[in-house]
Chain A
Amino acid sequence: MNKREFLKSMAATSLAAFLPEFVFAAPTTADTYRKLLILVELKGANDGLNTVVPYADAEYYRLRPRIAIKRDDVLQLTEGEGLHPALAPLLPLWQANELAVVRGVGYPNPNLSHFRSIEIWDTASSSEQYLQQGWLARAFRANPVPREFAAAGVIVGNADPGPFAGGSRTVTLTNTEQFLRQARLATPGRARGNKALDHILGVEDEVVQAARGLGGGAALTTTFPDGPFGNAVRTAASVLAGREPVAAIRLTLNGFDTHQNQPGIHANLLRQLGEGLAALKAALLELGRWDSTLILTYAEFGRRVQENASSGTDHGTANAHFVLGGGVKGGLYGEAPRLDRLDNGNLAHVVDFRSLYATALQRWWGLDSVGPLGGRYATLDLLRS
């Protein structure tokens, strides 16, 4: 490449890509991000109706003759709704008023493709809008995470950057100790203008910086469940035990695309979820972080109300999600699903998913949510302060 081509390619690449995020705004006070956000992705699209079960609704049993959760098995929360029995580990949180259940979360003109719909969720776009940057990356750009933090975001498990995509200081790891051992193989470097190369150089930088901040943590006494989600929770806890803080963590539990033989598979997944979240609470209590942590579940969509011929469920729309933490006002939010008012067999949404994000940005972190979310979304009154 000659000099002129090089300059052209420099001009073509947004200047922003070369500047660290703190150039764009006054540094956010460290206190903002001392409050932690943990996102838990239920990948493949969790079946909200068999998670938060409308057990008093005859229509539910009529549409799901084979896969409905029996009334007697439901862990009743109210007279109309209750949890899947495998979520028993969440009952103590419900009783302590630390578990919010938000029903009917979705967005207008839902897209039923896994890939497109999770892109909509990750970028907080509308159904017709294609955005590149994740919603947390946009929030971190507008309100930079202080440099001394080990990282803005930590991805445990599923490597897809999701809400962090497009320029936030994020590291992916599976096991903290292993990460620290290997980090010596990384070398910091400077961007060159080749996008793929810059990406790799950026990852090397992030590794070097994260390794400085994540070490030095004390061992935890909390026991974590076996299995991949238990391991992810363990890793998240060890990240939080490190020398320097992080602003957000994303965990993933895979396997919710239950088109076939749903009951056994789903029960197993929810058991992992329930046990994992209970262990996460225990670890956060041990670290003194439970009151300063907000945990949100999310997924690309819910599942079709009527079961399919394979004892499974096809792709749907609106869904129930959990919000938990020491600062959460427990209870039911949104509205109970209206199975008598389906649109092409799917539930209508009553809470825009961006309202959950706005709640995290505005009410939890005290930041502007309109910029990062590209519009004003009502926040939910589910935090204690």
Chain B
Amino acid sequence: MVYSRLTTLAGVLALMGLVIAGSAVASGVATSATSATMGMDDARHLLARTGFGPTLNEIKTYAALTREQGVARVLAVVPAIAPAVATSAPPAWVQDALRPPRELRNLSVEDRRAYLQQQLRQSFELRAWWINEMRVTPSPLAERMTLFWHNHFTSSQQKVRYARLMYRQNVLLREHALGNFATLLHAVSKDPAMIIYLDSATNRKDKPNENFAREVMELFTLGEGNYTEADIREAARAFTGWSLEQDTMEFRNRPFLHDSGDKTVLGQRGRFDGDDVLDILLAQPKAAEYIVGKMWREFVSPEPESVEVRRIAATFRDSRYDIRAALRELLLSAAFWKEANRAVLVKSPVEFVVGSLRQFDMSADDVASLAMVMAGLGQNLFAPPNVKGWPGGEAWINSATLLARKQFIERLFRTEESLRPAFASIPMTGAAQRQQRPLLLAGARRAPLNLPLFESQRWFTGFSGERDPAVERVLLAAAPANPVPAELSRREWVRHLAMDPVYQLK
């Protein structure tokens, strides 16, 4: 539960801002309460919800902005990234040609296995690249949205197998992360990794495979209950012919495999192809509501307010699916800032790990170890558990993953003399273990985990006094759930806060 912090300096400043705004209204000058600066708590809330573990300096910077300014800033195009898709260079192999399945079939069993092992190793390098980008990016929201779309338009290394295609899909997602949803939907439907993941290439005239048609309605646009089984069957016919080049694995439409007959999808009849069906889906009011509802659960609270979702969805549709326009409405909604909606979302493993590094100001020499930790906590990047993605929310926390999170904190706070190999005791939830075993084995060869260490002397230089209240306010989204013993050293105090259940929340 969020507690009042108005006695603190920033709170007083925020209050003064409100008072000034109030007097402006009284004197007839057109303004609103939103012209007040945010103060520390609002700034922390905005940064934690749109990024990864805000630091004291970031919070201070945003505290001096109004809510509108702050939201504009998190949504802004960052020139450092704009021409490219990420600030850090991807692994060199993303340029290499891949060996298509036809070629793989002609390899000896050993050579084929070696090739697939190489793909698994590369997928680990890919995870490391992305995690590092999340840590250093000047635009955390762009990374959060790339992750959001990765969990929406899911594909998994486990089925796709080619790391380069997973990279390429990630590039597509980051290009459109804050761009246009309609454009993204059309593009991702023809993305080679997606074509493989949802079996589009085997969806042929007279022999339809319904996998993509079903998921594009159920998970990508409309949500369950807003279409019929007949719609799926008909849509699957429209998507026939979408396939891949055998040698390059590029998208290719094959007209001779396309069913060009009449189809009836969601009440409309015509000789539809796949793009037509996507446009029919995008024209449904439910599509914008479904996406906004999902954004709400990502950024605002576990329970979307239907009236607000419809309002923001209308903006989203009117903007022809401009993702920034929807996010802006969402982040400036009363619900986003409401006290009752603070500290009500559970950090994902990625947010938890990357956020911890950022908040404790740790560099990470061995980013692949962090990927292993995230996998152990239930979020193996590039390998969501199924097409629905990670369920998220409270489902992130069960007895196994909560203990694993605490153990991760313990390791960051270990003392030098207690250093020991950590891999053996990083637990893996069964689902991760079962589905991602080959991926993890490829990574496990490089065990033990090499995690960074909390350096308290350096860290505390940003704060003042023995028990600067700002420490708690940076680390926790609300007051700690467990009482803090008075006799702890500063270092132990910080560890205690990071072990508190509230540290799992944002």
Contact = CB atoms under 8 A, between A and B. Distances in A.
Interface of A: 1, 5-6, 9, 44, 112-116, 155-161, 171-175, 178-179, 181-183, 185-187, 189, 192-197, 199-201, 203-204, 206-207, 210, 228-229, 231-232, 252-255, 257, 259-260, 308-310, 312, 314-315, 344
A183 B403 contact: yes
Given A116-B224, A157-B433, A197 B502 contact: yes
Given A159-B378, A160-B431, A308-B202, 7 more contacts: A182-B403, A182-B406, A185-B406, A200-B402, A228-B433, A231-B430, A309-B204
B276 interface: no
B210 A196 contact: no
B224 A194 contact: no
Contact of B395 (A160, A175, A257): A160
A115 B502 contact: no
B403 A197 contact: no
A314 B433 contact: no
Contacts of B431: 157-160, 252, 254
Interface string B475-506: 00010011000000000000000010110110
Interface string B213-233: 010001000001000010000
B395 A159 contact: yes
A374 B400 CA distance: 32
B199 interface: yes
B340 A204 contact: no
A174 B377 CA distance: 12
Contacts of A259: 199, 209, 211
Interface of B: 1-3, 199, 202-204, 207-211, 214, 218, 224, 229, 302, 339-340, 343-346, 378, 386-388, 391, 393-395, 397-404, 406-407, 410, 425, 427-431, 433-435, 437, 478, 481-482, 499, 501-502, 504-505
A126 to B, nearest CB: 14
A189 B481 CA distance: 8
A181 B339 CA distance: 38
A304 to B, nearest CB: 9
Given A178-B425, A185-B499, A196-B505, A314 B430 contact: no
A interface: dominant SS:
mixed
B452 to A, nearest CB: 20
B209 A310 contact: yes
A197 B503 CA distance: 10
A174 B400 contact: yes
Given A172-B398, A259-B199, A309-B209, A186 B403 contact: yes
Contacts of A314: 209-211
B233 to A, nearest CB: 9
A229 B437 CA distance: 12
Contact of B400 (A113, A115, A179, A252): A179
Nearest to A210: B399
A91 B145 CA distance: 51
Contacts of A5: 339-340
B398 A194 contact: no
A331 B363 CA distance: 62
A6 B482 contact: no
Contacts of B344: 194-196
A260 B391 CA distance: 25
A159 B430 contact: yes
A117 B502 CA distance: 34
